[in-house]
Chain A
Amino acid sequence: MNFEAFLQNLSNGISLGSLYALIAIGYTMVYGILRLINFAHGDLVMLGSYVAFYGVAMFMLPWWLAFPLAILVTAGVGIVIERSAYKPLRDFPRINLFTAAVAVSFLLENLGIVIFGGRPKAFERPAFMDQMLNLGGVSIVSYTPIIIITALVLFGLLLLVIYRTKAGMAMRALSKDIEATGLMGVNTDKIIMFAFMLGSALAAAGGILWAIKFPQINPLMGVMPGLKAFIAAVLGGIGNVGGAMIGGFLLGIVEIMIVAFFPELSGYRDAFAYAILILLLLFRPTGIMGEVQAEKV
């Protein structure tokens, strides 16, 4: 492989990785606070891309209005899911919450089939995202840097919220000890809702960018990115936001590079992620940034 092809693959891997990372953050935030794997999270990726699609194709909104609107709508749906399906179950055994998450996932997928139709739809990219760019002899499509930059900006904003605001501080405290956070005068229900809102918004952003990169959407499109992003979150150390970002980029780059270097293995592309997950669970279940949690007796 020549250097140019390597750079092309690398940029492709980074953009795929930034999508995994965007989606992984939602998994990791919810897990960090509620110790819940929110299986419906991948389906919010789907929802985000569909709302954006309808905004542009049906309501004729310009992309710069339709996309943020889709993020807002999905964030709202995320809040509704938390309030209606998860909050009432918070004091029950964890298996109940887990089962509810699986149920919500199926509900969203099947509602998607009923409402949006099962047939895939063509997602139209804004024209400026479809230009061939020549960066120092490497030609790439303009959506690649756009995806990467958008993701990085969103990461920056998220880190600002988490580390520089009062609500972010409460969120970090919450991930350590919900009850003690309440004793500080924090309305913990509100902060949990806020975390769901942020995670869902990032999932929607990931979904829209996913549809820009792979412009065909269908009601089950969130399943695979959801699973991969979950693996990325575990790889980075579940519960750790920085880890989710690192895990996402790593998984995206590795996935693309393996296929690039061993084209004969391209049929096994999705299997790599699962192989990584199995190895990880065997040898370093806490992931890259995860800390070993001492079981409380």
Chain B
Amino acid sequence: MLDIKNLHVSYGGIRALQGISLHVPEGKIISLLGANGAGKSTTLRTIMGIVKPTEGSIEFLGGNILGMKSFQVVMKGIALVPEGRRVFTNLTVTENLALGAYTRNDKVQIQQDIEEIYELFPRLREREKQSAGTLSGGEQQMLALGRALMSKPKLLMIDEPSLGLAPVLSQGVLSRLKELNQTRGQTILLIEQNARAALSIADYAYILETGRITLEGPAAELATNDAVRKTYLGIH
């Protein structure tokens, strides 16, 4: 579904990505793991057209999406839940969800989908008229996820959903992602620092170190790999 080949990105003099290639097949959960500053967020931001690469190609459903602006990438069917959630704190919960459906014009269906999000996250329904700024961190993460789903993305990308959340909450978010994948066949590209949690729900994973992919493989295999266990799972 998504094919990235030999992607290079530089900020000023810093080479954030040095030729990464990855593949996200339809219906799978792919995880991109790595430490802070490895280039995970940069990869997602480049896919969304926020950052311009110096070299490489990004294809989605067989068509080039490189050089597109964010809104055009969204219209192609990719949604990003950005790092730090970034919900619109000056809009209500419902407005945040409605904005997620900005590219759609089917009003009735949008209304039904908002209902569906509220069924998925009942906590949000209780707060539908409140401004998103009054939500807790966990609720904001649910809202950010719901908002991204409102565009009916073919590919859902999530940047560090468990960042700043209590372990119980982040486990909840991840199990929701697994559920979405299993019940709707939602394709997901997940970025996580918490490798253990990510590997537990992913089908396939890539490990990114200072701008290069150093290891890749089925999640179950990586979870038993000695190097991975040492560096990312803290098992010696």
Which A residues have a C-beta under 8 Å from some C-beta of B? 166, 169-170, 172-173, 175-177, 179-188
A184 with B82, Cβ < 8 A, contacts A176-B88, A176-B89 known:
no
Q: Residue B5 at the A interface, CB < 8 A?
A: no
Q: Residue B102 at the A interface, CB < 8 A?
A: yes
On chain B, the residues within 8 Å of A185 by CB distance are 70-71, 74-75, 102-103, 151
Q: Residue B99 at the A interface, CB < 8 A?
A: yes
Q: Residue B90 at the A interface, CB < 8 A?
A: yes
Pairwise interchain contact B86-A177, C-beta atoms closer than 8 A: yes
A176 with B80, Cβ < 8 A, contacts A166-B102, A184-B99 known:
no
On chain B, the residues within 8 Å of A166 by CB distance are 102
5 tightest Cβ-Cβ pairs between the two chains A and B: A185-B74, A182-B70, A185-B103, A180-B86, A185-B102
On chain B, the residues within 8 Å of A175 by CB distance are 90
Of the four ranges (under 10, 10 to 19, 20 to 34, 35 or more), the interface on chain B belongs to 20 to 34
Besides A176-B88, A185-B71, 4 other A-B contacts (C-beta < 8 A) = A176-B91, A181-B88, A182-B70, A184-B100
Which B residues have a C-beta under 8 Å from some C-beta of A? 48, 50, 69-71, 74-75, 79-80, 82, 86, 88-91, 95, 98-100, 102-103, 147, 151
Contact of A169 among B70, B80, B95, B151 (CB under 8 A): B95
Pairwise interchain contact A170-B99, C-beta atoms closer than 8 A: yes
Pairwise interchain contact B82-A172, C-beta atoms closer than 8 A: no
Contact of B80 among A170, A172, A177, A183 (CB under 8 A): A183
Query: In the bound complex, how far is the Cα of B151 from the Cα of A185, in angstroms?
Result: 8
Pairwise interchain contact B71-A169, C-beta atoms closer than 8 A: no
On chain A, the residues within 8 Å of B103 by CB distance are 185
Q: Can you sample 20 A-B contacts with CB below 8 Å? A: A166-B102, A169-B95, A169-B98, A172-B88, A173-B90, A173-B99, A176-B90, A177-B88, A179-B50, A180-B86, A180-B88, A181-B99, A183-B70, A183-B80, A183-B82, A184-B71, A184-B100, A184-B147, A185-B75, A185-B102
Pairwise interchain contact A182-B69, C-beta atoms closer than 8 A: yes
Pairwise interchain contact B90-A187, C-beta atoms closer than 8 A: no
Pairwise interchain contact B82-A186, C-beta atoms closer than 8 A: no
On chain B, the residues within 8 Å of A170 by CB distance are 99, 102
Query: In the bound complex, how far is the Cα of B90 from the Cα of A170, in angstroms?
Result: 11
On chain A, the residues within 8 Å of B50 by CB distance are 179, 182
Pairwise interchain contact A182-B71, C-beta atoms closer than 8 A: yes
A290 to chain B: closest CB distance in Å? 13
Pairwise interchain contact B151-A184, C-beta atoms closer than 8 A: yes
Query: In the bound complex, how far is the Cα of B23 from the Cα of A276, in angstroms?
Result: 61
A183 with B99, Cβ < 8 A, contacts A172-B88, A172-B91 known:
no
B82 to chain A: closest CB distance in Å? 6
Query: In the bound complex, how far is the Cα of B100 from the Cα of A185, in angstroms?
Result: 8
On chain B, the residues within 8 Å of A176 by CB distance are 88-91
Of listed B69, B70, B89, residue having the most chain A CB within 10 A: B70
Query: In the bound complex, how far is the Cα of B99 from the Cα of A264, in angstroms?
Result: 55
On chain B, the residues within 8 Å of A173 by CB distance are 88, 90-91, 99
A56 to chain B: closest CB distance in Å? 42
Contact of B82 among A169, A180, A187 (CB under 8 A): A180
Residue of A nearest to B104 (CB): A185
Query: In the bound complex, how far is the Cα of B82 from the Cα of A172, in angstroms?
Result: 19
Query: In the bound complex, how far is the Cα of B79 from the Cα of A95, in angstroms?
Result: 34
